[in-house]
Amino acid sequence: MTAPPERLAKFIKPLQLQIEEDKTLPERVEGKGIVIDAGSFPVDVYNSRLDRFTTGQEIESEHLKKDQLISMLEQMLRIRFFEEEIYALKFNEDKRHPGFDFIGATHLYVGQEPMAAGVVAALKPDDYITSTHRGHGHCIAKGADTSLMMAELMGKEAGYCKGRGGSMHIADLGKGNLGATAIVGEGYGILTGAALTIKQLELEDRVACGFFGDGSLQRGNASGSFNLAATWQLPVIYIIEENGMGMTVMKHETTNLRFLAQRAMGFGIYSEVVDGTNVLAVYDAAERARNRALNDKPSIIVLVGTRKYGHSLSDLRRSYRTKETEDLWAQYDGIERLKNDLIHNRVITKAEYEKIEQRVRDEIEKATDFGISEKYPHPLTVKNGLFSEKVEEIVPPQFKTEGIKSSDLIVDRSKPLFGYNGKLLYKGAINEALRQEMARDRRVFLLGEDISYHGGAFGVTNGLVEIFGEERVRNTPISEDAFTGLSVGAALTGLRPVVEIMYGDFICIAMDEIDNGGAKVRYMFGGKAEVPLVLRTQHGGGKGYAGQHSQHKESWLTHIPGLRVVMPSTPYDAKGLLAQAIRINDFVVFIEEQLSYADKNIAQDVPTEPYIIPFGVADIKRKGSDITIITYSRMVHEALAAAEILQTAYGISAEVVDLRTLAPYDRNAVNESFKKTGRGIALAQSCYTGSFTGEIAANLQYDMFDHMNGPIIRVNALDSVPPMSEPLEATFLPNRYDVIEAVCMACNTAVNPGHTKKNFLLGEKSKFASNLVEYTGKEPESYSVMILNRVLSGSN
């Protein structure tokens, strides 16, 4: 499709024309050209403003009320006493609970209380926050129940996350706390996605604000998230808690920047450096940042401070910090500063302060008693919370898409882009599922590289931006980690993203966000989080794209609990399974096959109306009685082709089981087929070692041992990097001839030389013959290598 003229007009012009046409540029400087000022940022604004230096002046100016100041003090005390109680329990210093064995992570926030208390005081209850592995302070400041927090830290069922998350993964979704992540910097994408939800759903008077350690700034996804926030103008605040260290590594060892706020300049984001020990300064900066966010202007606020204890209670902090340094920072204790200021300005009396302190101490003691007395989760509930199973059958009225023509819901099957002879091509089925689900629910949106007017690398999303607009079909920068993380955050907060990773190989870039992010949050947060997210990608060899555009990563993905993996082989299955993937409240990786996109041979009559296919239900693509071929994706068609030859040439009746989904996979259907045939082939295009075929074979042997008439034979690609050269790739990949030879071996039948891989390579691919070299390997790695050995040694 052609983009609108106004978009095309924005294409970059020659530099000389840019300079001549932009009247805002400064004059040339001899020998230096036009010098652009990259901007500036304020440092310590609050402490230089005499009108807001004391609590008394804050009240007089009506900037802060008395109860707000007291609330901030109380929250800081609550954080301090909670953390000190953890310290006492860890080192058996709690005289009320002698001998209590506290296990788990202990990253305490003592000393940084003004940061969490000041920032959250400037937020509204409906605002979102994200947190870190050192997140107790953020959680308490956002209004968490300390009893439920303590129970979570002790691994109890009554905890916020039912003991699944513990100290580093507390979430309180009802209060807008999207949870803590123990992967440093992972929250950048989640936070940015929450901000996108606010903008996309037009949620009024709401912003997203996240806390990060200064060490996280060196991660690439931080830069990617800043770029997305600035480019899409999102209502987001990034709070950087700077203590000069990333665990034990000093700031000067990781960056050449004097002030971390300088990082924002490259993205056109407002930044500021603030005294993080002064809760009034923190509140002031956060309040102004929130006002900017309400106008879709992101901010990066760097709060400078430190903490009393080291990175963790288990480390040796003297290896990176001296007692003299700690004593120096102790003079800037934020709680003492605010307490003394309130008493000095007669906002409260010393006696009133002591009452506040005692009330908070009593609360923490009660929380500790609660946590210790509560029960542990039942062992048999260990897997509870991995998946939602909930399918969004009815779209709430406020989320229905308006103004979509009925003709836009159906792909034109008469045009070659998506159809062939009135039937639907594989990519046409995916496109039709996308347009129907987007028309059904305005929370569904697409994002990925080149998916807008270009339609994606394979044309799958062609025509969708014209129907749904650029906000629902979003082009992204080349930063898979950032926009995948953003999708996790958007899903957590109410959107239903469909993110496209152009090639399956590129999943590696986003693997942290897939594995440690989207796949785990539901379980870690006690089953309370919904992550309705689809990650579309494609895989497959056969086009000479070599080692970084032809890989199969599905086996890797099935090893991630909490992730659903779907691999349709036909247009009919692709449409129904994608609709199910979009409607289910789980994280789904939907893997397509690049050779199938425009394959006219597999075009089908697909219903024009929407429908869904449940996950975990295999499809018998061909019935048989002698052997079962278990496979998925493109290999289904190779298996069917092999089955036809086996029937006509050998009288062998092969049943072809298309798994359709690998996680979950239909183990019962596979077993029932095998019970009938007693023989099995597990077929996939992935490399042999670690392939999902091994899982199939192992489960069959365990489940159906008494029905086995021979070993399960696995047919896979070779254990090699996918090669580019045509003869190498043809040798590397399994095909119908590998299947025929494997079936004949399993059925004790001699194979016709015309039906061998050798014949394929030296016959159908005869142009390779003169270049084949004798294979001299040792023990074969797989059945495919056995075939390769025979092919290249000249024997049958």
Ordered strands of the 177-180 beta sheet: 177-180, 128-131, 208-213, 236-242, 299-304, 270-275
Strands (E) located in 94-218: 128-131, 177-180, 208-213
- Write the DSSP string, 649-706: II---EEEEE--EEES--HHHHHHHHHHHS-EEEEEEEESTT-HHHHHHHHHHHHSGG
Ordered strands of the 680-687 beta sheet: 619-622, 654-658, 627-631, 680-687, 713-717
Q: At what angle do helices 146-153 and 350-373 cross, to 10 degrees?
A: 40
Task: With residue 272 as reference, give the H or E element that holds it.
Answer: strand 270-275
Token pair belonging to 753: 């030389």
Lookup result for tokens 């210790």: 372
552 catalytic per annotation: no
Give me Rg for the CA atoms of the chain.
31
Give the torsion through C-alpha atoms of 638, 644, 648, 653, to 10 deg: 100
Cα–Cα distance for residue pair 96/14, rounded to 1 Å: 74
Cα–Cα distance for residue pair 270/274, rounded to 1 Å: 13
Q: What are phi and psi of 409, to 5 degrees?
A: -90, -10
Strands 619-622 and 654-658: antiparallel
3-state secondary structure 467-515: HHCCCCEEECCCCHHHHHHHHHHHHHCCCEEEEECCCHHHHHHHHHHHH
Strands (E) located in 495-586: 496-500, 533-539, 563-566
Token pair belonging to 575: 């449409």
* Closest to 747 measured CA to CA, from 628, 642, 623, 622: 628
Distance of CA 446 to the CA centre of its chain: 15
Cα–Cα distance for residue pair 659/74, rounded to 1 Å: 57
Q: How far is CA 735 from CA 636, 738, 744, 787, in A?
A: 10, 5, 15, 12
b/e sequence 518-533, b meaning 16+ C-beta within 10 Å: bbbbbbbbbbbbbbbb
State which amino acid sits at residue 715.
V
Cα–Cα distance for residue pair 699/630, rounded to 1 Å: 12
* Closest to 116 measured CA to CA, from 100, 97, 96, 132: 132
Q: Which of 133, 138, 169, 549 is catalytic?
A: 549
State which amino acid sits at residue 343.
I
- Would you please indicate which residues are annotated as catalytic (active-site) residues? 549
